Amino acid sequence: MLSLGILHETLLRWAPPPVSVFAQDHGWVTSLGFRTGGFAYSTDVVRLEEPALQILEGVDTWVVGCVLRHGPHPTHAHLDLVYDWVARIRPRRTVLTHMGTTMDWAWLTANLPPGIEPGYDGMVISPQLSADETSPNETSPNETSADGYPSSASPTR
């Protein structure tokens, strides 16, 4: 059995840049998040302990699970909790994923603060090395179709 107490301090060195893996509280079980360079991914999480927050600090792009607009939920983060984490971690870009039915696309795009956006099916994220670089492969959140969805998205309803 893998000891998560040790794992959160371990770097996987199978490909540059190294991957930091950290434990996340998912209610009744522990899930894993990761960070590689300026990109981090945390879904299936309701609480982040200090070691995880330290690994995430200063990340450029963070994809984070956010099931509800209003919380709390026993196993998943809600929007106010994500706002608290973003204030601590200070990523340039936060992409919400694993969203529930209360996470209405139109409401989110109209009300989320700068730097936080909803993810969508088919979204491509090209993490940047620095905040002022632009990736030609990344879909701009401002490119939308007539129904308000990103032009490259094919949402299911």
- 18 in a domain, yes or no? yes
Tell me the residue range of the domain where 72 lies: 4-118
Count of domains for the chain? 1
Among the residue ranges 13-17, 78-82, 145-149, the one predicted with the least confidence is: 145-149
- 149 in a domain, yes or no? no
- Residue 120 exposed, middle or buried by CB count within 10 Å (0-12, 13-18, 19+): buried
The residues near 53 (Cβ < 8 Å, ≥ 6 apart) are: 85, 88, 89
- At residue 141, the pLDDT reads 43
Give the pLDDT mean for 109-118. Answer: 95
Question: Residues 67-85: pLDDT tens digits?
Answer: 766 677 766 788 999 999 9
- 27 in a domain, yes or no? yes
- 150 in a domain, yes or no? no
- 69 in a domain, yes or no? yes
- At residue 66, the pLDDT reads 86
- At residue 32, the pLDDT reads 94
Three-state SS for 91? Answer: coil
CATH code at position 76: 3.60.15.10
Give phi and psi for 79, each to the nearest 5.
-60, -45
- 75 in a domain, yes or no? yes
